[in-house]
Structure 1
Amino acid sequence: MSRLVLVVNGAAGSGRARHAGRHVEDALVAAGHEVIDASGGTAPDGTPDETPHDARGRARAALDDTRADALVVVGGDGAVHLGVGLVAGTDVALGVVAHGSGDDVARALGLPRHDTAAAVARIDAGLRTGARRVDATLLDRADGGHEWAVGVVSCGLDAAVNARANAQRWPPGPARCLRALAGELRRFRPYGYRLTGLDEADRPTEVLHEGPATLVALAGTPWFGGGLHVAPGADLTDGLVDVLVAGPLTRRQVVAVFPRLYRGSHLGHPAVRVHRVAGVLVEPLPGPGTPAPPPAFADGEPVGPLPLRARVVPGALHVLA
């Protein structure tokens, strides 16, 4: 029997995760596991009645008090990000029941999406046969804090679109990203950056980019934004992060290139470059007519303003997959 801490993001997937959470606990108990539910409550409209900070603290306390074998999260990429932040770099495994609107990390890990029974079966099998080890990215924030990520860290127009999409309730799913992009393009100008590659010992190697750019994504997994194939070559087991730099692009060029993200064919555009490195330092480099980049996002969740240092830690995450 394994001891599991369960955290359900009741707002994920327009409330689907809240309903799935009830079945997840019953199924895991029926499979012979002990389950400690560390989920918060929900408001009358179905949204969580606690902040992400509260949810993280509740889950951490449960993990510390119970000496759990695994943390199981039910929700979307935000729930996965919370879970990665709690168990990366430890021996506690992560189980994912994907019921969000994007589920890009679950897609990258080959996990079931919107299929509770299949996801629970994967978790149960992983508990019995052993977890899979994958890479995670450790982020050093501008405020001196640290944060873990496993998917894509957005630092450019992609981050600005993420922020706007998070503030919108309509339309559901990936179409929200398109609406947010249209809103951001009204005022868009390429941002200024200096990107410096880092080796495995966190030493600078080369300047990857200096000057204006439109999109800067640090990809541990191939997808973000609900299925946008931003980094087709990204691999969670190679010890590297794919640093994608696009631009500078005009508004018209952004509109032309954006649809190609769904197929991954944007990599053939002459203004798109990919660098594979063990780590990267992303610094703002504003200038005349070139604004500072927006605050960064990781796995769809806010991280904060640049500069940001990202270092891949090979095998830092145990996943029940």
Structure 2
Amino acid sequence: MGEPEKRHLRLCHRRNQAAWGCSGHAHRLQNSIGVLPLMPKIKLVVNPVSGRGAGLRSVPYLEENLKDLHPSLVLTERPGHAQELACEAVASGFEVVVAVGGDGTSNEVLNGLVQAQLKGVGSAKMGVISVGRGNDFAYGIGVPKGLPEGCQILRQGKTKVIDVGVVSGGFYPQGRYFGNGVGIGFDAVVGFEALKLAPLSGFASYIIAALKTIYLYYTAPIVKITLDDQTIETPALMVSIMNGRRMGGGFMMAPASSTQDGLFDVCIAGQVSRAEIFKLIPRFMKGTQEGHPAIRTIRSRQVAVTALQGSLPAHADGETLCTAGENLAVSLHPAVLEVITMTT
């Protein structure tokens, strides 16, 4: 994204903020239910297959519990459809677009909203109601899993502005936006394997997939990692480029990361034995991996990863970027997207 596009995104955000008032919050109304925001025009983009069908099962609840807000609800029909629907919603004058699903749905809606800004179509706030498997993006912006929780946060209308990353390479040479993070190596293979575990959902599927991946992906490729102020050549079993804090529904890849600080937290895991991977998994679950001799975390706004030996399986917000890539370029753009959240 060039400097003119960045200026355009900042201008769209200022216009959007002005429409809600300087605080970024909606005006409020007291009624018999409690304190409710006078919500703008809302579009709910529901992925019916998210969370093994939890998306479709959520529709009656949403229609009943949000009926006083008069949202427009639409179901996605194919991969990539949520991105199209989000962009179309902005063009139709919707001021809030809510992703109802998991990380894949959220990523598509985010891409649609950013593309709408870049094309000059307009801007809208993004909401999330988490009914998917991982829900890591929602976690990173302060939205807990669950229909009641998501609906309550939507009603409250609190917002904050977050940074958005863009990654180029693999299946997306033109670039793909993301809100949570890019996982390269072991982390990506865990995600690929979790998708194959049809009977399981949620964090359990990622735990089983992680244990399986220990026997599938244990030889680290040699990579060159170019950061803002240094270049590293090293065997890296995993490189996690984090805007958020968590991946895989419960692995704290960057426990100190913030979506509002203008920097990625880049977690690099070097080559370790399979036995040592077993020991590291619970540390990542607790977010206590820092201090292990094979782990280092570096903060940077720009990251480029090149495979010198081996290849790069990678994902962005759970969406596959490549299964055997060679180069990925990642950059962070501050204060791009306004999201509805529990915390400001």
Please classify the TM superposition score into its range, dividing by the shorter chain length. 0.7 to 0.9
RMSD, matched Cα: 1.9
Partner of residue 63, structure 1: 90
The whole-number CA distance in structure 1 between the counterparts of 2:156 and 2:87 is 24
Deviation at 1:15, TM superposition (A): 2.0
Partner of residue 246, structure 2: 223
Deviation at 1:121, TM superposition (A): 2.5
* Structure 1 gaps, min length 5: 41-49, 199-204
1:25 to 1:313, Cα distance in 2 relative to 1, 3 A: farther
1:118 to 1:186, Cα distance in 2 relative to 1, 3 A: closer
Deviation at 1:145, TM superposition (A): 1.4
Deviation at 1:254, TM superposition (A): 0.9
Structure 1 residues 296-315: aligned runs within 5 Å: 296-304=314-322, 305-315=325-335
Partner of residue 53, structure 1: 80
* Cα distance per residue 1:233-256 (max 9 Å; x no partner): 111110000110011112121111
- The reply on whether 1:38 has 2:83 as its aligned counterpart is no
1:54 to 1:106, Cα distance in 2 relative to 1, 3 A: closer
Partner of residue 230, structure 2: 206
Percent identity between matched residues is 27
Deviation at 1:210, TM superposition (A): 0.8
- 3-state SS of paired residue (1:216): strand
Partner of residue 138, structure 1: 166
Partner of residue 19, structure 2: none
* Amino acid corresponding to residue 60 of structure 1 in structure 2: C
Do the aligned residues in 2 keep the contact of 1:88 with 1:136 (CA within 8 Å)? no
Do the aligned residues in 2 keep the contact of 1:84 with 1:150 (CA within 8 Å)? yes
- 3-state SS of paired residue (2:44): strand
Partner of residue 225, structure 2: 195
- The reply on whether 1:319 has 2:339 as its aligned counterpart is yes
The whole-number CA distance in structure 1 between the counterparts of 2:263 and 2:73 is 35
Match of 1:118 among 138, 149, 160: 149
Structure 1 residues 1-321: aligned runs within 5 Å: 2-31=40-69, 33=70, 35-40=71-76, 50-64=77-91, 66-88=92-114, 90=117, 91-114=123-146, 116-126=147-157, 131-142=159-170, 143-188=172-217, 189-198=219-228, 205-207=229-231, 209-286=232-309, 291-294=310-313, 296-304=314-322, 305-321=325-341
- 3-state SS of paired residue (1:87): helix
Deviation at 1:313, TM superposition (A): 0.9
**TM, length-normalised to structure 1:** 0.85
1:315 to 1:21, Cα distance in 2 relative to 1, 3 A: farther
* Amino acid corresponding to residue 74 of structure 1 in structure 2: V
The whole-number CA distance in structure 2 between the counterparts of 1:258 and 1:79 is 27
The whole-number CA distance in structure 2 between the counterparts of 1:2 and 1:98 is 21
1:88 to 1:54, Cα distance in 2 relative to 1, 3 A: closer
Do the aligned residues in 1 keep the contact of 2:55 with 2:131 (CA within 8 Å)? yes
The whole-number CA distance in structure 2 between the counterparts of 1:219 and 1:18 is 30
**TM, length-normalised to structure 2:** 0.80
Deviation at 1:28, TM superposition (A): 3.4
Deviation at 1:268, TM superposition (A): 1.8
Deviation at 1:231, TM superposition (A): 0.7
Deviation at 1:118, TM superposition (A): 3.1
Do the aligned residues in 2 keep the contact of 1:229 with 1:262 (CA within 8 Å)? yes
* Amino acid corresponding to residue 293 of structure 1 in structure 2: L
1:38 to 1:169, Cα distance in 2 relative to 1, 3 A: same
The whole-number CA distance in structure 1 between the counterparts of 2:193 and 2:144 is 28
* Structure 2 gaps, min length 5: 1-38, 118-122
* Cα distance per residue 1:69-94 (max 9 Å; x no partner): 01111111111111111113733110
- 3-state SS of paired residue (1:37): strand
- 3-state SS of paired residue (1:249): coil
1:274 to 1:187, Cα distance in 2 relative to 1, 3 A: same
Which 4+ residue blocks in structure 1 deviate beyond 4 angstroms?
none
